[in-house]
Amino acid sequence: MKTVHVLNGPNLNLLGTREPGTYGAQTLAQIEADLRARAAALGADLVFKQSNQEGDLVTWIQEAGSAGQPIILNAAAYTHTSIAIHDAIRGAKAEVIEVHLSNVHAREHFRHHSYISAVAKGVILGFGPMSYRLALEALLEGAA
């Protein structure tokens, strides 16, 4: 059974209450439950984590990369600031798909730059919680 790591960055623990007009009403736990069901239907297992700490994300990317296991990464605000996450992905021996719930290009200018996109296999954004499902399907059904 293939294992996919779903790694979530800062403030995503507040989904459902933080800016629902931008991020939607689903909680991260609801997104996880939906994604686990889809992964099981596709014959995969998930490792699903969230941290507000940049170093945790770097460590988790390194661990998944060492195992050659694919990653779905929503680094949230660290997308626009973290060279450390960029470097961890670059060194990982795993496919990484960058995801965002909102269309970051339709938002504030500072959100238009991603340190992750250049080292990711692909980017899916703007589809709300479906962004995660699309990334999972791309990884497991061979599009990535």
Task: State the pLDDT at residue 16.
Answer: 73
User: What mean pLDDT, rounded, does the chain reach?
Assistant: 90
pLDDT at residue 113 is higher than 80 = no
Residues 6+ apart with CB under 8 A from 107: 22
Catalytic residue among 5, 86, 100, 132: 100
Task: State the pLDDT at residue 141.
Answer: 87
**117-138 core/surface letters (b: 16 or more CB in 10 A; e: else):** eebbbbbbbebbbebbbbbbbb
pLDDT in tens, 94-110: 999 999 998 776 556 65
Task: State the pLDDT at residue 112.
Answer: 57
Q: Residue ranges of the domains in the chain? A: 2-140
Single pTM value for the model:
0.90
pLDDT in tens, 16-54: 776 556 556 689 999 999 999 999 999 999 999 999 999
Whether 100 sits among the annotated catalytic residues: the reply is yes
What CATH architecture applies to the domain 2-140? 3-Layer(aba) Sandwich (3.40)
Catalytic residue among 23, 78, 115, 132: 23
